[in-house]
Structure 1
Amino acid sequence: MEIVKTQNTQTSVTTSQKNMKTGVLIVNLGTPDSPNTPDVRKYLREFLMDGRVIDIPVAFRWMLVNLIIAPFRSPKSAKTYQELWEDRGSPLKFYGEDVEAMLQKELGEKFEVKLAMRYQSPSLDVVLEQFRNSGYQKIIVIPFFPQYASATTGSVYEKVMKIVSQWQIIPEIKFVNTYYDHPKFIEHFTTAARNYMASHEYDYFIFSYHGVPERQIRKGDCTGKTCNFGSCCDTIHSFNQYCYRAQCHETTRLMVKELGLKEGTYLTTFQSRLGRDPWIQPYTEDTIKRLAKEGKKSVLAFSPAFVSDCLETTIEVGEEYKEVFEELGGEHWQLVESLNNSPIWVELLKDLVTKNS
């Protein structure tokens, strides 16, 4: 009787374990709830008040964001968001919703995939509360940022940990750090680039990444002497493996190798700087002006810091930089699209989930 009882218990535990699910939390930066000025202002305030985004003392940050940036920048940003907005809403959000459904279908019933935004909705607080109430055995967190930066991936980690630290029972949580060198990530951009190169000859190739202040890169240098904003990023090694700038340069190198681009025909640049402090260079806009003055006529541009086309890709790189280039004599500017809701993006995410399950 004792033996039968033990066997039944073991069978019960095994069956229970089989029924346990893993929560998959995919997280993008965020987007206003609408392209109207009040919603854009609300979004900017939440985003820019993050101490990992603007890393200055909180009192100065509050005054900068609430008295200067949000009031004066919101109307202009709202107009830009209105250009970007589609019938389904913000591309960054609806592409995320598409990927949520596609990945759920690929992973099956043992997983539950939920999309959250670091800022605005669907919020991390709400989605993680749903996970907590579902009793998941494990949660896998995948930030939608290929390269690690304190202001993006680091901010998601911090917010998730702050929320779950209040739970009485904390399940196993796995964080995906980077995937800038994942073969499928490289394949998406190089395949799309080849399609454009097959129908047009390009003089130059720009790999434009979102910029960050130099001080944030220095803060991440645990040695205090590795970072020199020069040759320190020529290779990935143990002392710079988490450096955003180094990872961006490595992404470029992997794509350049795959495309077989010649030395001197491409450059890694950085966009979207804010304020007067120095950000990592070279700046994309300055590079465009230089290329036009040098007589370059045709440029193929990449934005490999983004997995969804958004304001920084579609508008900034795809339209504003194109306008600058053409005004200075350039003739052809083409942006390579992001992963968006492509099957290869879902395959990449499925691989990340499988490796962390």
Structure 2
Amino acid sequence: MGKKGILLVNLGTPDSPEVADVRRYLDQFLMDERVIDIPAFNRTLLVKGIIVPFRSPKTSKLYKEIWDENGSPLLYFSKIQAAMVQQKLGDDYHVELAMRYQRPSIPAALERMKSALVESVHVVPLFPQYASASTGSVIQNVMEIVGKWPTIPPVSFVNSFHDNKLMIETFADNARKYHPENYDQILFSFHGLPERQLIKCDHSGQHCLKKENCCASLTDVNKFCYSAQCHDTARLIAAELDIPAEKYSVCFQSRLGKEPWVQPYTSEVLKELAAQGKKRLLVFCPAFVADCLETLYEVSVEYHEEFKALGGEQVQLVASLNDHPKWIEAMVELSKN
């Protein structure tokens, strides 16, 4: 029998922090119909006419702040993760790493799997919480590519792993070195999404943003809701660390544009906590499995400086999952299921 193919997919990163490469990355990313889910003509005008030309030089400067001798931290840790998963799974598996945007690409990774004569393809989108703009986009892209093959092998997907026990334990392990009990408040800052995308995922049409505390717990109605899964992840990590409910806050970062995104916004929470006299904040970013621009710069630099300007003292980032042994174990489990 042939090997079982495992495709690990993260979001993506520019080939370099230079403006041209950042422009190429942003263009591919933001032109995805699931990322900016508006009519194609409007999306093209917005992305190619406004966002990419103006945002690329600014984003290039930010990437240069986190780029190091290993290149992109996201790609660096992703390569380590894939290599360690391959080592743990052994010769019965063929592991490929891909990025939804830019390189290594999904089409190239799938082509290598086809050439290796794998007997099946199991896709693990590396996004703990399901969102149409991330996991959904990966699933659609893989199906479009494999659907054109003359012979389609068995294909399976991991939909989400927001409550994965080993992942929760890894975040808790990474936090313990900072002694969470010594901080005034714990923040779980997740990547944001437009509210309209959450509403679209409510197939009942009666729950999302209509029921009070609609994301407070997972139900049959909101089980695929990104925000509800984020709240569940935060609750589980807090429970693992014995953090009481009043000691932690769930918030959302990386807002783009002026329309309503899922709330509360991390920046607004920083203002509220500073006004309450809070001085030291410990911040988790559990939407990411590897440190990247959103963790290493947006939280560690921008939010830290913002909070200090408001009268606070410290915003301390909890490292992402990266190459933690327990997280590698979790990836192996996800690859087998």
| Residue matched to 2:61 | 79
| Residue matched to 1:221 | 202
Question: 1-side partners of 2:248 and 2:334: how far apart?
Answer: 30
Say if 2:332 is the partner of 1:350: yes
| Residue matched to 1:8 | none
| Structure 1 segment 268-283 matched on structure 2, within 5 A | 268-283=250-265
| Residue matched to 2:82 | 100
Amino acid at match of 1:107: L
| Structure 1 segment 1-357 matched on structure 2, within 5 A | 17=1, 20-197=2-179, 201-228=182-209, 230-354=212-336, 356=337
Identity percentage of aligned residues: 51
Deviation per residue, 1:276-319 (Å, 9 max, x gap): 11000000011001111110011100000000100001100111
Shift of 1:233: 1.5
Question: 2-side partners of 1:195 and 1:99: how far apart?
Answer: 22
Figure out how many residues of one structure are paired with residues of the other and give that number: 336
Shift of 1:338: 0.3
The DSSP-based 3-state class of the residue aligned with 1:232 is coil
Question: 2-side partners of 1:170 and 1:65: how far apart?
Answer: 34
Shift of 1:332: 2.2
Structure 2 alignment gaps of length 5 or more: none
Shift of 1:191: 1.4
Work out whether residues 198 and 226 of structure 2, in 8 Å CA contact, stay in contact via their aligned partners in 1.
yes
Question: 2-side partners of 1:51 and 1:118: how far apart?
Answer: 13
Question: 2-side partners of 1:31 and 1:352: how far apart?
Answer: 23
Structure 1 alignment gaps of length 5 or more: 1-16
Normalising to structure 2: TM-score of the pair?
A: 0.98
Deviation per residue, 1:150-195 (Å, 9 max, x gap): 0000000000000011101011111011111011111011112122
The DSSP-based 3-state class of the residue aligned with 2:245 is coil
The DSSP-based 3-state class of the residue aligned with 2:321 is coil
Work out whether residues 299 and 315 of structure 2, in 8 Å CA contact, stay in contact via their aligned partners in 1.
no
- What is the root-mean-square deviation in Å for CA atoms of aligned residues? 1.1
Question: 2-side partners of 1:194 and 1:81: how far apart?
Answer: 29
Normalising to structure 1: TM-score of the pair?
A: 0.92
Amino acid at match of 1:197: H
Amino acid at match of 1:245: S
